Amino acid sequence: MQTYDLPVFLKIGKDTSKDVFNILDKEFINTTEIKIIFFTSKMLYDIFKDYIDSLLNMRKNMTLFFVEDSSFEIAFNAAKRIALEEYDLIIGFGGGTILDTAKYASYVSERPYIALPTTLSNDGVASPISVLKVSETERRSFLCSSPDGIIVDTCFIINAPKTLLTAGIGDIISNYTALYDWRLEHKIKDTVPNDFACLLSDMSYNSLLMVDHKDLRNEDFIAILSKSVVLSGLSMNIAGSSRPSSGSEHLFSHALDQYYNSQIAHGLKVALGTIGAAILQNRDYNQIVKFFKDLDIDVSPKTLKIDKDMFIDAWMKAMSTRPKRFTVLNTLELNEKLFSKLYDQIVEILE
> pLDDT-derived band of residue 1, with 50, 70 and 90 as boundaries?
low
Q: How many CA atoms lie within 13 A of 4 on its CB side?
A: 17
Inside any domain, residue 293: yes
Whether residue 151 has pLDDT greater than 80: yes
* pLDDT tens per residue across span 56-103: 999 999 999 999 988 999 999 999 999 999 999 999 999 989 999 999
Q: Dump pLDDT digits (tens) for 315-327.
A: 999 999 999 999 9
Of 112, 137, 158, the residue at which a domain comes to its end is 158
Residue 3 lies in a domain: no
CATH number of the CATH domain containing 309: 1.20.1090.10
**298 with 199, same domain?**
yes
Mean per-residue pLDDT for 119-127?
Answer: 88
Domain end point (choices 158, 189, 210) = 158
Give the pLDDT confidence score for residue 3 in this predicted structure: 65
Distance separating alpha carbons of residues 156 and 152, to the nearest angstrom: 8
Q: What is the pLDDT of residue 141?
A: 87
Q: Do 167 and 148 belong together in one domain?
A: no
pLDDT of residue 262: 87
Q: Are residues 186 and 148 in the same domain?
A: no
The chain-wide mean pLDDT, for the chain, equals 94
198 pLDDT exceeds 80? yes
Alpha-carbon distances of 96 from 39, 83, 218, rounded to whole Å: 12, 23, 22
**Domain co-membership, 197 together with 92:** no
Same domain? 133 vs 103: yes
Q: Which residues on neighbouring strands pair with residue 212, listed in sequence order?
A: none
CATH number of the domain bearing residue 125 = 3.40.50.1970
Which residues form the domain of 312?
Answer: 162-349
* This prediction's pTM: 0.91
